[in-house]
Amino acid sequence: MNPLAALFMRDLKLAGRVGGGAGIGVLFFLIVIVLTPFAIGPDLALLARIGPAILWLGALLASLLTLDRLIAADAEDGSLDLILTGQTPLELAVATKALAHWLSTGLPLVIATPLFALLMNLDSQASLAVALTLLAGTPALTFIGLLGAALSVTLRRGGLLLTVLVLPLTVPVLIFGVSASNAAIVGPLPFGTPFTILCALTLVSFVVGTFAAAAALRHGIE
Amino acid sequence: MLLLDLANPTRFLTLVQRALPWLIGATAVAFTAGLYLAANAPDDYQQGATVKIMFVHVPAAWLAMGIWTLMSIAALGTLVWRHPLADVAAKAAVPVGAAFTLICLVTGMLWGRPMWGAYWVWDARLTSVLILFLMYLGLIALWRTVDDPSRAGRAAAILTLVGAINLPIIKFSVDWWNTLHQPASVLRLAGPAIHPTILIPLLIMAFAFALLFVTLHLAAMRNEILRRRVRTLMLMQAQAAPGSAA
Amino acid sequence: MRLEASDLACVRGGREVFAGLRFAVAGGEALMVTGRNGAGKSSLLRMIAGLVRVAAGRLALTGGADDLPLAEQAHYLGHQDALKPSLTVEENLDFWARYLGTGDGAPAALAAVGLDTVAKLPAGYLSAGQRRRLSIARLVAIKRPIWLLDEPASALDRAAQDRLAELMRGHLAGGGLIVAAAHGPIGLEGARELQLGATG
């Protein structure tokens, strides 16, 4: 098995074991969705109108809040030192970790979306549209968050600092994610335009997030 | 005396082993009778055959609340009396309780669909059950995060008790929130007066559900005790390995 | 093979830890780095492993695999064990064997440190000494010519220390090179000593 496959499998295994925290993200997502009507009232027409936005916000916060242990856990137990002495380029290693993280926490959010969309009174076409945009957009959130995860290691501060640093960077993804969903539901824009931009943002974030995170970790070496 | 006997996990295990086949049989019989009676119960003149969902929905709702009550008693057992089986009972009840709550929610949604025209409306009762479901999931997350059962057990016990105190407050708040936003025109799921032709199958179904819970709970407790034994054996094996004292 | 340092300096957090350091170690030789706390023993090892920046001077390896950087020919055994408590002993070692090498030597390495009987247990159940031995198994499982050992004998009992000394002698006999930081003897009697912080 090649080193990256080994790293990928290890991170997936860790996510599934005790203390791994797979599933917590989905639970957080659900709680955000449930809290919204308590704040704005149970008006079904209103909920259906803002549903895509709330689902996107919930998924965004859930993606980012689960990220702070992604690299910090490896830094604390010394694994990161060994990963740095490996022959695999650091960029590929962090990208692999992000991919495993997306698979164990991002993908479940996408799968849960059509179900949670029922709470927001979205019809099946609308909820599929939101799920599709999240499928295209959550990898971008993970890879943008990867930079935050790397920074929180080099700055030795996790949690909220990461979120504060990274949230502004997610604005474009949120804009095009929500507008693509709305385009599919009410128009007038064609779905394809914002969706294509969303996919482009995701591809850009693969590159930028990976290289920025690796650079942050390298510069963390005193 | 009985409680003391049961406090011994080995005696408890033999008892469970002997009781389980009978319980499974009794559950099957109760469900057969309950489902047969429910199938032959008269349809509602307004709702038609959908009213039959009630025979699953209502017992599940009762159990969803009853299991949290049971867990609260078990939590007292963990914190106050330090009964060795209390946190095993509490832990084993959580996934079962969550499952019954989910059944209640899903059947509620299926029932609501023809009546409300949507799978989910923020009806006060369903919403309260949804919050209860979230609290069950939170407990599952807690148990899955901490490896040491005694440490997780005490934390879970405190959370369970706080939840039990908070549940009426949550229920009251949700009711208040709901009436604030919607006039009292919300269709009630079950009228106050239930005809005996419906009440009797309902009670039998509730009995069947309770038996199902007892069966699943005892089996889950047995599994949990065995799981903890495996854990202890593994710890002992690690200690027995050469050079572990250093 | 020869590891050579000339006028090496280390700065951490704006403070100069050491400067003007020079030493040379050849294959088959061991270097014991000693000195008081804070003299820079760990920093020196981490610098060779590429985990601390070289502030001034030169650190060069000659006669190794030319296409690989120094850090990728070295095993770094630090204070932390780099083990995941929820993975089993076997899974932990297997992962590092695959990530750092080809992954073939793992079962034999477990037997070499006497942990083959607990291979299927979660690493979280191990004692500090057993975890240390599991880290040492990594050195055996993947062949790398340079061993950088930071207090390798800490938490090890008498028997395990002897076993470690045996492994280190075997590594030296095979032409390997060891740089170890330690306060006390670790069973490398013939090793040269590099004292940090004495002359500055």
State pLDDT tens for residues B28-45.
999 898 888 888 877 766
State how beta strands C56-62 and C30-34 pair: unpaired
Test A118 with B137 for CB contact under 8 angstroms.
no
Across chain C, what does the average pLDDT equal?
A: 85
The superfamily (CATH) of domain C2-82+143-195 is: P-loop containing nucleotide triphosphate hydrolases (3.40.50.300)
CA gap B19, C18 in Å, rounded:
73
Residues 32-91 (A) with a CB less than 8 A from some CB of B: 34, 37-38, 41-44
3-state secondary structure of B48: strand
Test C115 with B245 for CB contact under 8 angstroms.
no
Cite the DSSP H helix spans in A17-123: 24-40, 44-65, 69-76, 79-85, 90-101, 107-119
Across chain B, what does the average pLDDT equal?
A: 83
Terminal Cα-to-Cα distance of chain C (whole angstroms): 28
Segment C94-101 mean pLDDT:
89
Nearest to C52 by CA among C84, C98, C21, C25: C21
**Contact, A50 vs A182, CB < 8 A?**
no
| Chain A positions in Cβ-Cβ contact with residue C11 (cut-off 8 Å) | 222
Q: Which phi and psi angles does A144 have, rounded to 5°? A: -70, -40
Test C121 with B238 for CB contact under 8 angstroms.
yes
**Contact, A162 vs A145, CB < 8 A?**
yes
Segment A132-140 mean pLDDT:
94
pLDDT score of B49: 74
pLDDT score of A112: 93
Question: Cα B153 vs. chain centroid, distance in angstroms?
Answer: 18
ipTM over cut 0.85: yes
| Residue given tokens 């995701």 in the structure block | A202
pLDDT band for C5, please (50, 70, 90 cuts). Answer: confident
Test C157 with B246 for CB contact under 8 angstroms.
yes
Query: Which chains share 3+ C-beta pairs under 8 angstroms with C?
Result: A, B
Test B120 with A121 for CB contact under 8 angstroms.
yes
Segment B150-173 mean pLDDT:
87
Residue of C nearest to B144 (CA): C86
pLDDT score of A7: 92
**Contact, A126 vs A52, CB < 8 A?**
yes
pLDDT score of B186: 42
Test C114 with B241 for CB contact under 8 angstroms.
yes
| Chain B positions in Cβ-Cβ contact with residue C127 (cut-off 8 Å) | 238-239, 244-246
Segment A127-156 mean pLDDT:
90
Across chain A, what does the average pLDDT equal?
A: 88
Terminal Cα-to-Cα distance of chain B (whole angstroms): 44
Segment A18-43 mean pLDDT:
85
Test B246 with C126 for CB contact under 8 angstroms.
no
| pLDDT tens by residue, A176-190 | 999 898 888 887 778
- Eight-state DSSP code of residue B188: P
Q: Which phi and psi angles does A27 have, rounded to 5°? A: -65, -45
CA gap B85, B90 in Å, rounded:
9
Segment A78-88 mean pLDDT:
88
Q: Residue C166: CA atoms inside 13 Å, Cβ hemisphere, count?
A: 8
Tell me which of C89, C117, C118 to substitute to probe the interface with B (most B C-beta atoms closer than 10 Å).
C118
So where are chain B's domains? 24-40+48-179+195-232
Q: Residue A211: CA atoms inside 13 Å, Cβ hemisphere, count?
A: 5
Segment A135-164 mean pLDDT:
86
| pLDDT tens by residue, B184-224 | 444 455 455 567 777 888 889 999 999 999 999 999 999 99
pLDDT score of A199: 94
Candidates C85, C114, C128; nearest CB to B242: C114
Q: Is C46 on the interface with B (CB under 8 A)?
A: no
So where are chain C's domains? 2-82+143-195
Specify the range with the lowest mean pLDDT, choosing from A98-107, B33-42, C140-149: B33-42
Q: How far is A126 from chain B (nearest CA, A)?
A: 14
Q: Residue A218: CA atoms inside 13 Å, Cβ hemisphere, count?
A: 11
Residues β-bridged to residue C8: C21
CA gap B26, B31 in Å, rounded:
9
pLDDT band for C156, please (50, 70, 90 cuts). Answer: confident
pLDDT score of B109: 87
Cite the DSSP H helix spans in C65-185: 89-100, 106-112, 128-141, 158-173
Tokens linked to C62: 């000659």
Candidates A18, A38, A41; nearest CB to B144: A18
Segment C162-182 mean pLDDT:
88
Q: Is C175 exposed, middle or buried (0-12, 13-18, 19+ CB in 10 A)?
A: exposed
| Chain B positions in Cβ-Cβ contact with residue C114 (cut-off 8 Å) | 241-243
pLDDT band for B245, please (50, 70, 90 cuts). Answer: very low
Residue of C nearest to B242 (CA): C114
Test B242 with C126 for CB contact under 8 angstroms.
no
Strands (E), chain C: 2-12, 15-26, 30-34, 56-62, 74-77, 146-150, 177-181, 192-195
CA gap B192, B190 in Å, rounded:
7
